[in-house]
Amino acid sequence: MARRGKRGLSEDDKALWTRVAATTNPKDRSGAPRIAPVEPTVARRPIQSAPTSTVERLPAFRVGEKAAFNSDSLIHSTTLSARMTHAPVKMDHATHKRMVRGKLKPEGKLDLHGMTLAEAHPALISFIFAAREAEKRLVIIVTGKGKDRDIGGPIPIRRGILRHQVPGWLTAPPLGALVLDIREAHQKHGGGGAYYVYLKRRR
């Protein structure tokens, strides 16, 4: 009986064997199957685009150049006068009308004209507390309208710094709890260079 010759693998058999071998884990010498390392999966956050913002570009400025004065950026005298005039009335309306018309007689007066900020602030606090203790209702604070002190530097200096600062002091602690209303004085009592300060009644 004739023996059949050795038969090799066909191309299809080789392709099938390659696919099967790729799905198995080879064994090491100890006989234990090798376990392919598993790479940890990291959850990736979706990339968020940064919010777009509009950047306002400032005009070019060189050192030593004088800045242009912008009446809208600084509070000047007419704006302050308008704000004081149109501020809500916190006191009795009839008394308020008499006060702004200069028909009420002030019971005390403090003149801060010529003082520095460091000198004027404690003087104002002391005066208002003393007026409250004496049960006074209407007092006048004189600040003056101020002078133009711009010497040509790059930063303009506000005119009448005391005039602008005093209303803030009168509405902030510790004086804010004692003051009922603040208005520019009538012309007979100093006009734009002075303030009526109407104090709250002592309880």
How do residues 77-125 score in pLDDT, each as one tens digit?
Answer: 446 777 877 889 999 999 999 999 999 999 999 999 889 999 999 999 9
In a domain, 103, yes or no: yes
Range name among 11-20, 66-75, 118-127, 149-158 with the lowest pLDDT average: 66-75
In a domain, 188, yes or no: yes
In a domain, 130, yes or no: yes
Report which of residues 45 and 15 the model is more confident about: 15
Report which of residues 21 and 103 the model is more confident about: 103
In a domain, 163, yes or no: yes
Mean pLDDT (the chain, rounded): 77
In a domain, 23, yes or no: no
In a domain, 39, yes or no: no
Give the CA distances from residue 129 to residues 133, 137, 198, in Å, rounded to whole numbers and listed in that order. 6, 12, 13
What is the domain-level CATH number for residue 103?
A: 3.30.1370.110
Give the CA distances from residue 201 to residues 130, 136, 183, in Å, rounded to whole numbers and listed in that order. 14, 8, 18
What is the domain count for the chain?
Answer: 1
**What domain range is 145 assigned to?**
77-199
Question: By CB neighbour count within 10 A (0-12 exposed, 13-18 middle, 19+ buried), where does 186 fall?
Answer: middle
Question: By CB neighbour count within 10 A (0-12 exposed, 13-18 middle, 19+ buried), where does 179 fall?
Answer: buried
The pTM (predicted TM-score) of the whole model is 0.57
> At 193, phi and psi to the nearest 5?
-100, 10
In a domain, 70, yes or no: no
In a domain, 167, yes or no: yes
Range name among 113-117, 169-173, 175-179 with the lowest pLDDT average: 113-117
Percent of the chain at pLDDT above 70?
62
